[in-house]
Amino acid sequence: MKKYILLLAIVCMALPAAAFDPLGAHKIRAPQGCIDKDIWTQELTLDDFVQVILCTNPSLSASYMGVKASESGLGMSRSEYLPVVNLTATGNITGEKIERGNYVQAEPYTAKAEASWLLFDFGGREARINSARAYVEAARYGYNASVQQMVLTVQTAYLNLLASQESLVSAQASLDTYKQSYQEAEKRYKLGMVSLSDKLQTKTRYEQAVLEVVLAENRIKQNKGALAILVNLPPNSEIQLAKPVYTDDTIAIENDDVNHLMQTALENRPEMRAQERAEAAAKSDVTVTKTNLLPRISANAAVVYNDNWKHSSPYLTNNSAGLLVTMPLFAGFSNAYQIQQASYAYEQQQHNTENLKLQIENEVWQAYQNYKTAARSYEISQAVLESAEENHRVAFRYYELGKGDILNLLSAVSQLADARQNKITAFYSLLLSKANLYRSIGK
């Protein structure tokens, strides 16, 4: 019998904890099959980055482990429906000597097996399971919220990197324009057609444009590092972006009714579902504290084996079985305060739920207004760029013919550079505002 007990203990210790789930508590699974691309050499799309981050980001991994811990807590609650069996064994060396008698030594040992099974506790056990289940669901929704937020973070970093790359192209185009103005002013100065001031002013603007190119290159490096860190890569990693093709559908939203969007958010946001489950768990906790004042009925059984290892004294066994009724009578008013504490915590969660509803509605409202403003700004930036391009062509032609001065030309070049950059900023701001709007409604 002893060798079988020892073998069972060894098997239980050798069994991997993650694979042992007899009560079916673990439901959520870690992301699988992250990505099959070489992230060091191949161009990556936004979907590729999202796929990588779900499997490698330390913050999401920590959130996932929190869900698994909550699921284990649910398994612990479900185990209350099963009996509890304990096996204890003791071995001693005892001796006694009576006055004018001989010293007597004994070496007794005892083995005891006990089993107890909670039969009825007026719903307390079920309430504890309901509470644990609600906390697990809240943790799962919390993990989903973390995933959505991390996807938005990656999308933001991805778009920022694309925007900085476009800004570099714009800065280089502006540099070419300033260079053209500088070369024209220098040529005209050599011909004696303009003063030295024209040459110096255009040279200054040209050198400032060179500086803008250097700064744009630095922003690309910074944004590359920020995106690499999010996908658990060193910041000096060379990340290649697959430049997406944008269409009108890229910047449009599915539904332009803000009231519908707010209702959708209340239905879809995982934070809302998590808060509702936290409220349900708090309600179950009230029931748990109330049942602590009620009796508990358990079945108990025990088998005891005693032996003193001496042939003159045979072994002794004791067996017992019965019912145990436990009725709490007085615990220094602690149970009453526990009920109050649980009731107040439940009311607090109810208020938190209402407050979260208002916050989500406000987030959607703000994100929607930002999106509409960004869409309008992008439309205006396109018109401004067209006007700036035409203005620059006219100003340069006038200066080339000697009909315009250098200040008008430099002003036109500056306006063109600003218009190019403003269009890039407006376009990617529109994409970011759309991403934030979709995140606010739980998509």
Quick one: 225 and 282 in the same domain?
A: yes
Last residue of a domain, one of 304, 327, 350: 327
HEC per residue, the chain: CHHHHHHHHHHHHHCCHHHCCCCCCCCCCCCCCCCCCCCCCCEECHHHHHHHHHHHCHHHHHHHHHHHHHHHHHHHHHHHHCCEEEEEEEECCEEEECCCCCEEEECCEEEEEEEEEEEECCCHHHHHHHHHHHHHHHHHHHHHHHHHHHHHHHHHHHHHHHHHHHHHHHHHHHHHHHHHHHHHHHHHHHCCCCCHHHHHHHHHHHHHHHHHHHHHHHHHHHHHHHHHHHCCCCCCCCCEECCCCCCHHHHCCCCCCHHHHHHHHHHHCHHHHHHHHHHHHHHHHHHHHHHCCCCEEEEEEEEEEEECCCCCCCCEEEEEEEEEEECCCCCCCHHHHHHHHHHHHHHHHHHHHHHHHHHHHHHHHHHHHHHHHHHHHHHHHHHHHHHHHHHHHHHHHHHHCCCCCHHHHHHHHHHHHHHHHHHHHHHHHHHHHHHHHHHHCCC
Quick one: 167 and 35 in the same domain?
A: yes
Quick one: 307 and 338 in the same domain?
A: no
Whether 5 is covered by a domain: the verdict is no
Quick one: 49 and 103 in the same domain?
A: no
For residue 306, the domain's CATH number is 2.20.200.10
Residue 244 pLDDT: 77
For residue 384, the domain's CATH number is 1.20.1600.10
Quick one: 105 and 131 in the same domain?
A: no
pTM of the full structure: 0.78
Quick one: 163 and 242 in the same domain?
A: yes
User: Would you give per-residue pLDDT tens digits along the chain (443 residues)?
Assistant: 344 334 444 444 444 445 578 888 888 777 665 666 666 677 888 888 888 888 777 788 888 888 888 888 888 888 888 898 888 888 777 666 676 667 666 667 788 889 988 888 888 889 989 999 999 999 999 998 988 898 899 999 999 999 999 899 889 988 888 888 888 888 878 888 778 888 888 888 889 989 999 999 999 999 999 988 887 788 888 888 887 777 777 888 888 899 999 999 999 999 999 999 999 999 999 999 999 888 989 988 888 888 766 655 667 788 888 888 888 888 888 888 999 999 999 999 999 999 999 999 999 999 999 999 999 999 999 999 999 999 888 888 888 887 877 788 888 888 888 898 899 899 999 999 999 999 999 98
Quick one: 164 and 261 in the same domain?
A: yes
Quick one: 112 and 257 in the same domain?
A: no
Whether 1 is covered by a domain: the verdict is no
Quick one: 228 and 318 in the same domain?
A: no
Whether 48 is covered by a domain: the verdict is yes
Whether 2 is covered by a domain: the verdict is no
Range of the domain at 146: 26-81+122-293+331-440
Quick one: 95 and 239 in the same domain?
A: no
Whether 14 is covered by a domain: the verdict is no
Residue 34 pLDDT: 65
Last residue of a domain, one of 271, 302, 327: 327
Whether 9 is covered by a domain: the verdict is no
- Structural domains in the chain (count): 2
Whether 132 is covered by a domain: the verdict is yes
Quick one: 56 and 115 in the same domain?
A: no
Quick one: 225 and 213 in the same domain?
A: yes
Whether 13 is covered by a domain: the verdict is no
